[in-house]
Amino acid sequence: MSRVPTIRDVIPGKLVNIILKADQTTGRTVSGTVATLLTRGDHPRGIKVRLTDGRVGRVQSMVAGGAGNGASSQTTTAPMLPTSRVAASAVEPPSQTIGLDAYITKPRRRGKGGKHANSQQSSGGNEEEQAACSSEAVTCPVCGDFEGDEAAVAHHVSSHFGD
């Protein structure tokens, strides 16, 4: 495994090769002049720096030649690192447009029990139906616009007469 430069080697104004965050999976390096150090100390994957052109990445090596003139902006490709993730750029977009409705799935049926579980559900369902019937929709007698259950309409009516 190659060693990355230490904090003593990387100083503002030096030419360095960095890997941008977006290029970590591909290992593509970019050259540039260090503007600021973003890491306080040494880091096993490289010191994080901001280049003079604004790009941010981790230093992989120093450019042979020492001090920078600020005009260098070469790109090279480092050896591929083994990774379990597939690079996003390697995946081709689909040939046809697929809408979000294609991904909607129907809910699964919940049926772990036999007839006994169904009979309990049906008796519980009757209570819910009775409760739903007892809370019928009521319309506001003052304005006639608001509709809701009895408690909601009572609250709404009180707002008509509030100070």
- Over residues 22-41, the pLDDT tens digits come to 888 888 999 999 999 998 88
Would residue 26 count as lying in a domain? yes
How many domains does the chain divide into?
1
Q: 43 lies in a domain?
A: yes
Q: Are 28 and 75 in contact (CB under 8 A)?
A: yes
Query: Does 148 fall in a domain?
Result: no
Is residue 3 domain-resident? no
Structural domain includes residue 111:
no
Give the residue-averaged pLDDT of 4-32: 91
In this structure, is residue 23 part of a structural domain? yes
In this prediction the pTM is 0.42
pLDDT digits (tens, 9 = 90+) for 126-143: 555 555 555 678 888 888
Domain housing 19: 14-62
Query: Does some domain include residue 19?
Result: yes
DSSP string covering 73-137, please? --EEEPPPPP-SSPPGGGSPPPSS---GGGG--PPPP---S-HHHHHHHHHHHHHHHHHHHHS--
d(CA 75, CA 138): 71
Structural domain contains residue 42: yes
Distances (CA, A) of 28 to 8, 19, 96, 126: 24, 6, 30, 66
% of the chain at pLDDT higher than 70? 57
